[in-house]
Amino acid sequence: MKRHLTFLLLTFFCSACYAQNKIELNLIKGNVYQQKMSMVMSIKQTVNKNDILINMNIKGTTAFTVTDVKDGVYDIDVAYKTLSVKTEMPGGISIAFDSEKNDPKDTVSTSLGLMKNMPFHMKMNKQGKVLAISEVTKMFTAVFQNFPNLTPSSRQKMQAQIEQSFGEKAFKNNMENMMAFYPQTAVGKGSKWTVKTTAASVNMDMQVENHYTLDEVTAGQYLISGVSQMTSPNSGSYKEVNGMSAKTDISGNITTSMKIDRKSGWIAESASSMNLKGSVSFKANDKMPEGMTIPMEISGTTTVAAN
């Protein structure tokens, strides 16, 4: 009897150890899910043997309201709740914009404030893949109608500045890289899997190979760690950047630790650290008759919390 009981206990614990888990989104229609993000980034460029350091801090709280669920695809209304950007540049220059700032003379901060609670639409599948984004242009059109005194060129410049951090391309890029960890098959503790993505920005695209491990399974969470390698695709190819032909040759890694809610599959907590190094080369042009290669280092941390 004792041997039989021992065998049953061993079988139970071994089964628990090797239990397979389908980690995916299980969102509920009508529910609101939240992400509070903070990103701190440092960019060092070396120009004519002089180091130029730029520090950025981007923060935002975003609400995701599930309006429909069909065939594993979620229709989601997305609304910014708070937004802020702070940039520190050489010479003691500091520029800060905040949706909570009440200053009619600060048109950028006022624009961020007007964007609050103005929803746009997203379709996303159970693996966190963004399938479509719409109504972002409608949001920006509504925001900039509040500034009739701005010249068309000033309005275009300000909109481009805001879209660089909070527009459709920036939002899709941030979401896909944040949510691109879901495995395609069921996994158990210690399982490893790989997800390949592309990180796209205004001036630079990066190929990302993410390697994840399911470190632990608790009663309410999946604990996942990740190491990602980032490289410049087609590093020998030039493309237009601000009217100049430029190519990037940058690589590095990101380390990530995440806590995923077992019930919803939503990110409860996430922390990542990034380190990239390389250069940007410009062909000879009117501004740079001899061309130029600028060594560059990028480092930063990003945290995400559900509340």
Within a domain: 7:
no
H-only helix segments in the chain: 2-17, 107-115, 136-144, 152-166, 168-179
In a domain, 215, yes or no: yes
Domain annotation covers residue 2: no
What are the per-10-residue average pLDDT scores of the chain (307 residues)? 49 54 96 97 91 95 97 96 95 94 90 93 95 90 84 83 81 86 94 88 78 97 96 76 81 96 97 94 84 92 93
- Structural domain boundaries enclosing 284: 21-305
Q: What is the CATH number of the domain that holds 178?
A: 2.30.230
pLDDT of residue 236: 62
- The answer to whether residue 192 is domain-embedded is yes
Yes or no: say if 164 and 170 are a contact pair by the CB < 8 Å rule. yes
Cα dihedral: 184, 166, 237, 197 (round 10): -10
Domain-embedded: residue 8: no
pLDDT of residue 11: 45
Calpha distance 271→261 (Å, rounded): 15
Say what the pLDDT of residue 6 is. 52
pLDDT score of 3: 52
Asked if the structure places residue 217 within a domain, the reply is yes
Are residues 35 and 264 in contact, defined by beta-carbon separation less than 8 angstroms? no
- Cβ distance 91 to 116 under 8 Å? no
Whether 3 is covered by a domain: the verdict is no
Q: What is the pLDDT of residue 13?
A: 46
Gap between the Cα atoms of 256 and 270, Å rounded:
7
Which pLDDT score is estimated for 235? 63
Q: How many residues does the chain have?
A: 307
Counted domains in the chain: 1
